[in-house]
Each structure stands twice: as C-alpha cells, then as structure tokens.
Structure 1
C-alpha cells in the first residue's frame, strides 16, 4: 500500500467531486475511461479517492452498444462538482442544450475544472468557454472544429491541452492521458504512476506528444528508427547531431529526416528537446540533484536554455515542478 503521507501529498479535507456527464448516444469507451480513472475503488491507497457521480443530461440514456445507463442525478450535479468530465459527444453538429452550457459556464466561473475527451470539446466550444483559448480534439475533428469555431486556437497533433482550468484531449485513448494528468496534478507523480500501472499505461505521456502518425516506420536494411530513438535516449547528456543519428540508422540524412518525421510526428531536434525535458522531469521528481546538475545530465548547454525548454514543454519552471511533483525519498 502506498503511503500517501510519505509521498508528501496532502489530500483535501472534503473528497474532490468528479461529475461525469452521460447523454443519450453516450460514447461508451470515453465514458469508461472516466469511470476507470475516478470511480474505481483504489485499495492500494491509504487515503480516500475521488467521489465520482454520473449526471444524466437526458431523460433516458442509451449508450453505444445498446445498453442503458443509470445516473445519480441530473444536470444539477454540475453545480456540486470540482471537476466535470465530458466523455465525447453525440455529434459535432448536435448543439447542447442551453441549460447544459449555462451550467458549465457557472461551474467554470467558480473554479471548477472541465475536461473533455475527444468530441466532447464541441460541448465546451458551444458554451463559449473555449473562445480565444487553446484546445485540441481527435485529429478527424480538428478541421470541423475550426470551421465552426474559428476563434479557438486549435492545437492539432497533441494528446491534450490545458488552458485556464479547461483540459481538452484528443481521440479516445488520449483521454486516459488527460485523466492521469488530472490525478498527477491533484495527488502527485507517485500516485499517478500507481494508477497508470493498474491501467497498464505509460506513467506519463506529456500533452505535446503526437496523437497520430500518418505512416508507420518502414523497415529497411540497417537499423530501425526505433533503434535510433533508444540510442539517442542513452546519450541525452551529450550533444547529438542529426548526422550522427542518420549514420546510426544506416540511412542518408535526407531519408532519415523523412522517416523520422513519419515515425515520430516531429523533427529530430524537437524530439531530442522533448526527451531531454522528460528526463529532467523524472530527475526532478525522484532525486534531490541541483538544477544545474540536472540540466547538465539532460544535455542542456546552459541553465537558461534548460529553463526555457522546460517551461515551454512542462508549462512551469523546473523548481515549481519539483515542488509540485517531488516524491519523498526514504530516509
């Protein structure tokens, strides 16, 4: 059993109330993600988990697959929520009722966190809460979202975006990453990692990771792109040139660049920068190393470049990240 106090994580006095919306035509997988993350009992923890309720926004709710869903109450539950999750939506062109939009606006105004999974972003967009802000959704819906709501800055090809207490996630399974991000924000890295292991998920995939890769990595004589990635991760403390990566792959530099982008969704230097920050995040969570040593071990040439890269990807300075997610080490 994980010692919540040993991890120096302080639960709130009252249980954090997560309200999951249910609607006729409910997206079953997205709904299941929310319940798995927040409603499932967690006997591995010695502290109370979230309180999770289902709010029905329609008189009768039939989910995809043909089964009916029982709810705890109606739309009024939103007024009691600390976090509201919108697990998909029944159609991009189906406008939510004014009462639902009003309830979401009230919730956000009092500081409630709002989370959409996949097409659930269209409910938040219709409420006006995403106007002039950043958001994402499944790559299939980004063009439609832009056409309907041109005032939203749509960040395509990412797993999730957090902006002003609103988290929007990409297609279906990216909702798991968004929910783990919520748990990580509320309870810290150690707790989120335990939940991820139970879900058989990576403990942390940052929101900026590509949600979709247009073409798979194609094998050719020589080493695969996957082998290059493993090789580079083992050398993050050192300067790494694109030419070195191409040589290791056994490809010409031009072919390597094309294959790398196909396989990762980004250019090699951007990928290296992200991997260095991910390594730094792990060291900040698990060690007491000074920031300068962490920057050096992760291949940053100066503290300034380290801080800029870290803030750009983690959205907080390194010191604040450590204070937020530090896992206490045994004495």
Structure 2
C-alpha cells in the first residue's frame, strides 16, 4: 500500500439545513478535526468537492440528504472516499461534533469489530459511525441491541415501501447481523464518561453489494426477485436513522422493555439450547440450558432442566459468544 495514501485522507462536510451547513463551515475554517494515528486530513465543504464526488460508485451525499427526515440524527454528514475507520473520526472529535453526526466511508482500511477483530471494509459495504449521548449508564450496554433492531427494521421498511420481497435479516446476540445463516453486518459501540454523560460512538457495517466472502443484501434480493431495483447505501442509511430516532425515543422514555417483543421476533435465539459452564457452589459444571431472553443488564437469560434461571455471559476468551458462555444462578 502507498504509505502517503494511508497517512492522508479527504473528508467532505455537509448538512441538512442552514444550521448544519454553518457548523460544517466553522469546522472547516477552524481546522479542528483530527484522526487517530496522525493522519493528515483535508477538509472540504460539499460545494468544494466536485472532483471527489464524480465517481459513480461514491456515496451520493445529495441523495442521502434528500432521504433524511429526522430531527437530530444523520443531519450532519462527514463523508470520505477512504478512511482508516469511521470510528477514528467520530470518537476523537466527539466534543467538536453535534450529537447525531454521521461519518460514512466508501472504503475502510482499518475497520474494527468486537474484541479488536478487523472488519473487512471494501467498496459495496455501508460503513458508518455516529455520535450518541446518554446520561443513564445502566442503559448504555443495551444500546447495541436497539441499534441492531433499527438496522433490521430499516431494511424491512425499504422492502415495504418499494414492494420488494421480504429480506429476513436476523440479529445474533450481542451485535451481529445475519442473513440466510451468514454474517452480513455488525455493530460496535464505544463509550466514555464526560461531564456526567456517556459519549457513545456507534459503528455499523452492513454488506450491501459484496457477494464474497459470505453474502450480501443485493445477492439475496436478486435471487428472490431478479428484476427488482437493488438496495442502495443511501436509502438504507436514511431509513436507518428514521427508524433509529423513533426507537431511541421509545428506548429513552420506556426502556428496552418496550422493544423486547420486537427484538425477540428478530433475533436468532428464542428457545435455543446451548452448553454452558455454570458455577454451582464454587464448582464449574457443564450444563445444557435454554435461552429465554435478556436480563435487565443485557446478558442472556436461560433456564436449566431443573427450572433454575441463569444469566449467561461470555468468558472473554472465545471469538464466538456461544462457544464461550458461562453462567450464574439468578
């Protein structure tokens, strides 16, 4: 890889309204945005970036902004043709950006997943991070479940709107998205505590167009309906923020309990049997338990053959949560 290409990037700022456009102008003039690893940043306003936006496969800023009808989220956009990671933009610049800012990249060369895994991020993936803020630390771990649900509901809403066949994206706890038994996406949330609030950077990756190495939305859509118009990254992102804003308001007003029924209809694990190590009287005993749902802290709730309830959580060593679960009695 060209060393200069990996140590510099271009970013385009744009907003939905005059207020967000003014923020874009200020950020460009003040030159305050930084990226981790001392990457050199060149900042442009949308009106200055015609040479960056000419490629037919670039993210279409105007198309996305036309699709946005939210009040807070997604209205201020940072786009780059190539970044180390969208997370590397929103996390270190959190205090400079309005809450709800979204950063989108066409290509990432250091995309991140859970447990420091690398997320492959070629063209054809929808890769974005956005800023979120909460005051109650108890609900922060549950946020990733609500975000996963917003992704699945966004795809469903596009299918309904365009009359497309139903695309059955499912949630694999805690933060993966699956289609036809194959992973097509994931969610990563990182938080820091500042001024009595939790500043949360949310990262989402969704494979829209790449049929390898697993599958993608458009590959499945073409199998179901060869003549249908395909999903675009812009419409998915717009639909995501529309769904997210509604779910987030419900989540903040009534808690995750208000979303549980929909979440359980969408995840893969209802009545799933798993083998876990259960601590009983200071001894580890392997046992088969049946998943019932989530505990209030966001871990898995399961029941044993003896009708004893258990809270399951990962042991921190396995890459697959369901091969490294341990439990404790409730």
Normalized against structure 1, the TM-score is what? 0.28
More helix, by proportion: 1
More strand, by proportion: 2
Normalized against structure 2, the TM-score is what? 0.28
